[in-house]
Structure 1
Amino acid sequence: MPRLRVTVWIAILALALGGTLLHNDSLSAAIAPLVLAYLLVVSPRMLRLAIATIAVVEAAAWWVGGTRLMVDLLPVAIAAFVGWLFARSLMPPRRPLIACAIAAIDGAARLDDIAVARYARRLTVLWAVFQMFLAAFGLLCVLHDRGVIAVPMPSPHVYDLLLPLAVAMLFFGEFLLRPRLLPQVPRHALVGFLRALARVWPELIEN
Structure 2
Amino acid sequence: MTSSSLLPQPAARRYGLLLLPAYPLLAIAGAVTQRQVFALLALALLLTVLLLPQLLARRASSWLLWSGVLAGLLLGWRHGFAELLLSAVPVLINALLAYWFGRTLATAEPRVARFIAAIEGPERLCQPGVAAYARQITWFWTGLLGAQALLLAVLLLCAEPGGLLARLGVASPLPVPERWAAGWLHLGGYLLLGAAFLLEYAWRRWRLRHLHHPGLHHTLLQLALRWPQLLRGERAVAR
In 1, Cα distance between equivalents of 2:50 and 2:158: 29
Q: CA shift at 1:103, angstroms?
A: 0.9
Q: Give me the whole-angstrom Cα distance separating, in 2, the residues matched to 1:42 and 1:112.
A: 36
CA 1:157/1:180 → structure 2, altered by over 3 Å: closer, same or farther? Answer: same
Name the CA distance, whole Å, in 1 between partners of 2:182 and 2:212: 39
Q: In the alignment, is the contact (CA less than 8 A) between 2:16 and 2:52 conserved in 1?
A: no
2:221 alignment counterpart? 195
Pair 1:87-2:102 in alignment? yes
Which residues of 2 match residues 105-184 of structure 1 at below 5 A?
Answer: 105-113=119-127, 115-145=129-159, 146=163, 147=166, 148=170, 149-153=172-176, 155-159=180-184, 160-184=186-210
Q: Contact 1:72 / 1:156 at 8 angstroms: preserved in 2?
A: no
Residues 106 and 186, structure 1, Cα contact 8 Å, conserved in 2: no
Which residue of structure 1 lines up, in the alignment, with residue 23 of structure 2?
12
**Higher Cα Rg, which structure:** 2
* Pair 1:7–1:166, CA change in 2 (3 A): closer
Deviation at 1:37, TM superposition (A): 4.1
Q: State whether residues 117 and 124 of structure 2, in contact with CA within 8 Å, keep that contact through their aligned partners in structure 1.
A: yes
Instruction: Give SS of 1:99's match.
Output: helix
Displacement of 1:129 in angstroms is 1.4
For 1:175 and 1:7, the matched residues in 2 are separated by 25
Give, in angstroms, the shift of residue 102 of structure 1.
0.8
Using the size of structure 2 for normalisation, the TM-score is 0.68
TM-score normalised by L of structure 1? 0.77
Gaps in structure 1 of 5+ consecutive residues: 44-54
For each residue in 1:52-72, what CA deviation from the matched residue of structure 2 results, as whole angstroms up to 9, or x when unmatched? Answer: xxx8xx96xx49861121111
Q: Alpha carbon RMSD of aligned pairs, Å?
A: 3.1
Greater shift, 25-34 or 189-198, is seen at 25-34
Structure 1 residue 41, shift from structure 2 partner: 5.1
